[in-house]
Structure 1
Amino acid sequence: MLIIDTEKTRALLPFEQLVPALAQAFREEVQVPLRHNHAIHPDSAMPGCMLLMPAWNNQGFLGIKTVTIYPQNAAVGLPGLHSTYMLHSATTGAPLALIDGNEITSRRTAAASALAADYLSRAQSSSLLVVGAGRVASLLPYAYRVIRPIQRVAVWDINPAQATRLVDQLQADGFEAQVADDLGQACAAADIVTCATLSTTPLIRREWLKPGTHLDLIGGFTPLMRESDDACFDGTEVFIDTAEAPMKAGDLLSPLQSGVLQRTDIRADLAALCRDLHPGRTGETQITVFKAVGTALEDLAAAQLVYLQVTNN
Structure 2
Amino acid sequence: MSDLLVLDKATTAAALDPQRVLDAVAVALVALSRGDVSAPPRIAAQAPAGLLGAMPAYVPGLGLAAKLVSVFGDPGHPGRSRHLGLVALFDEHDGRPLAVLDAEPLTAVRTAASATLSLRVRGRRPDRVAVIGTGLQATAQLAMLAAVEPRIPVVVAGRDAGRARDLAATHPNATTASIEDAVRQADAVFCCTGAREPVVRRSWLAPGAHVSSVGGSHGHELDAQTIRDALLYAEWAGAAVSAPPAGAYELQGIDPDRIVLLGEVLGGDHPTVDDRLTVFKSTGHGALDVAAAAVAYAG
How far apart are 1:78 and its partner, in Å?
9.2
1:205 maps to a residue whose letter is R
Structure 1: unaligned runs, 5 residues or longer: none
Aligned to 1:66: 68
**Aligned to 1:271, which of 241, 254, 263?**
263
Q: Does the 8 A contact of 1:121 with 1:192 survive in 2? A: no
Aligned to 1:107: 109
How far apart are 1:277 and its partner, in Å?
1.4
Aligned to 1:7: 10
Q: Does the 8 A contact of 2:196 with 2:221 survive in 1? A: yes
Distance of 1:37 and 1:166 partners within structure 2: 32
Distance of 2:209 and 2:146 partners within structure 1: 17
1:31 maps to a residue whose letter is S
Aligned to 2:153: 152
Asked if 1:294 corresponds to 2:291, the answer is no
How far apart are 1:147 and its partner, in Å?
5.5
Identity of aligned residues (%): 28
Pair 1:60–1:168, CA change in 2 (3 A): closer
Secondary structure of the residue aligned to 1:242 is coil
Q: Does the 8 A contact of 1:123 with 1:148 survive in 2? A: no
Structure 2: unaligned runs, 5 residues or longer: none
How far apart are 1:11 and its partner, in Å?
2.5
TM-score by length of structure 2 reads 0.88
Secondary structure of the residue aligned to 1:245 is helix
Aligned to 2:140: 139
How far apart are 1:238 and its partner, in Å?
1.1
1:20 maps to a residue whose letter is D
Q: Does the 8 A contact of 2:53 with 2:68 survive in 1? A: yes
1:83 maps to a residue whose letter is G
1:9 maps to a residue whose letter is T
Pair 1:48–1:7, CA change in 2 (3 A): same
Q: Does the 8 A contact of 2:237 with 2:256 survive in 1? A: no
Q: Does the 8 A contact of 2:191 with 2:214 survive in 1? A: yes
Q: Work out the number of aligned pairs and report it.
A: 287
**Aligned to 2:44, which of 30, 33, 37?**
37
Distance of 1:145 and 1:78 partners within structure 2: 24
How far apart are 1:122 and its partner, in Å?
5.2
RMSD between aligned alpha carbons?
Answer: 2.2
Of structures 1 and 2, the one with the larger relative CO (CA 8 A, separation 6+) is 2
TM-score by length of structure 1 reads 0.85
2:75 maps to a residue whose letter is N
Distance of 1:193 and 1:237 partners within structure 2: 15
**Aligned to 2:56, which of 54, 57, 67?**
54
**Aligned to 2:190, which of 186, 189, 194?**
194
2:43 maps to a residue whose letter is H
Distance of 1:59 and 1:193 partners within structure 2: 32
- 1:120-143 CA deviation, whole Å, 9 max, x = no partner? 245231311111111111121332
